[in-house]
Amino acid sequence: MKTIRGGIACGHPKVAEAAEEVFQKGGNAFDAIVAAQLSACVVEPVLASLGGGGYLLACPASQQPQVYDFFVQTPINKHRGKADFYPVDADFGDVTQEFHIGSGSAATPGMVKGIFAIYEDLCSLPLAELASPAIRQARHGALVTPMQAYVFDVVSPIYRATESAQKAFVSPAGDLPREEELFKRPELADTLEGLVQDGERFFYEGATARSIAKVCSNGGYLNRDDLKAYEVIIRDPLAFDYRSAGLLTNPPPTFGGLLIAFALQLMEAVQVADFAGGSHLGILTKAMMLTQKARLDAMGDDRFDAGNLLDTKYLTRYQLEIQDEFACTRGTTHISTADSKGNIAAMTLSNGEGCGVMVEGSGFMLNNMLGEEDINPGGFGRWLPNRRMASMMAPTVLSVGDKRFSLGSGGSNRIRSAILQVVSNIVDFDMDMVRAVASPRIHVEGGELNIEKGFAASVLAELEKEVDS
């Protein structure tokens, strides 16, 4: 009988292979997730990069859970010169979205510091073994998946924006990486080997730091002081209950986990399980609309403390609205791992969409978080120096009875609605994980209700009446 050492859920088969290889060597869930994290930076370059950041919710079997915040930091100094910062349009087919890129859109990356903090605290295998799959994939190439080919097409203007980006990603024929193409990244393989040999100093104080400072010297904000000063922040997770289930998720100052908690607390005022066959969509829609309203209210108040969003007085104000209505009737990837010893890890990573500028000789693109509208609600250029940036990323662990589920999603503002609905599907409708994730979803954004295919026509007709009323 084959021994099951662990499991992984992720968005790319090569990332899964990296984790599986580490499990086969006897590694734990955290060894596997670091290997997967490094692999994602190779094979999912639009979604994850050494030039970006993320979060890990670590739930060791014998220790208290903790969140490793290795997301990006705003630069220490805000120069008054002209920034290299400009808009480009990404074509999603049905809609075009504007992103802002250039070296002036790059915040201080935390990915590498995160890798080493997790490794030192939680991993059991040598770093060389964890990095081996990613180095091999970068050196010898990995086949481009349909999803990655699609993402490259969507953000094509970013990956053609500069000579350095074109050199790294555009073929002699003028194409970005295409489906089933073997895509190699030799410079990134060299950088990963440098990290294994010399540690995080190679990135934050050595050759890579010099290259980052150089590419940001003309219109960017980052310099070697920013990189040297960066630190991972370890936080207690936000813990709360939804009905009989317990949840752990990303805490403030990040908004994603907080908004999931807020929406679930709203839904707790209604017996969602009584609404079968999709008739609960009205409740979900109202909860999402009120959550969006609460977020905008909170972020528009300079005196507001994000943690207050779950205070009883504040929450009750919105719960009354949902009770009154229903009492009678571009650039993110996620990895989850678990092992046979009871360790669970949930990690969400992002590079925004990338700033369009490669770090010379290092094989990766810096993030464009200072140009991300979702996390700059006050407007571009209004960021405060030397602050950890907020995010919608929300790695989450759900406990129902003796079962634990590691959850997370990519998708920027859609992260919170995706996790909200998976949690509701499991807790309210007793779905297994596969069905809970595969079920169609809805999302409210900017006054618009987006609905995936798969709901019955009668359910949609009833939802339309509720929304119109």
Catalytic residues: 332
Contact 194, 138 (CB under 8 A): no
Burial class (CB in 10 A: 0-12, 13-18, 19+), 214: middle
Using CA atoms, how far residue 3 sits from 63, 217, 263, 401, in Å, is: 25, 53, 40, 25
Contact 330, 353 (CB under 8 A): yes
* Alpha-carbon 215 to chain mean position: 25
- H/E element holding 122? helix 111-122
Tell whether the torsion through CA atoms of 248, 390, 264 and 283 is positive or negative: negative
Q: What are phi and psi of 244, to 5 degrees?
A: -90, 0
CA atoms within 13 A on the CB side of 358: 21
d(CA 414, CA 410): 8
Cβ neighbours of residue 274 under 8 Å, at least 6 residues apart?
A: none
Tokens of 312: 């009883």
Helix axes 256-267, 312-326, angle to 10 degrees: 50
Nearest CA among 351, 362, 41, 357 for reference residue 191: 362
d(CA 33, CA 338): 9
The answer for 36, left when phi > 0, alpha when psi is -120 to 50, beta otherwise, is alpha
Beta bridge partners of 89: 98
Q: Which residue has the tokens 């120069």?
A: 79
- H/E element holding 91? strand 86-91
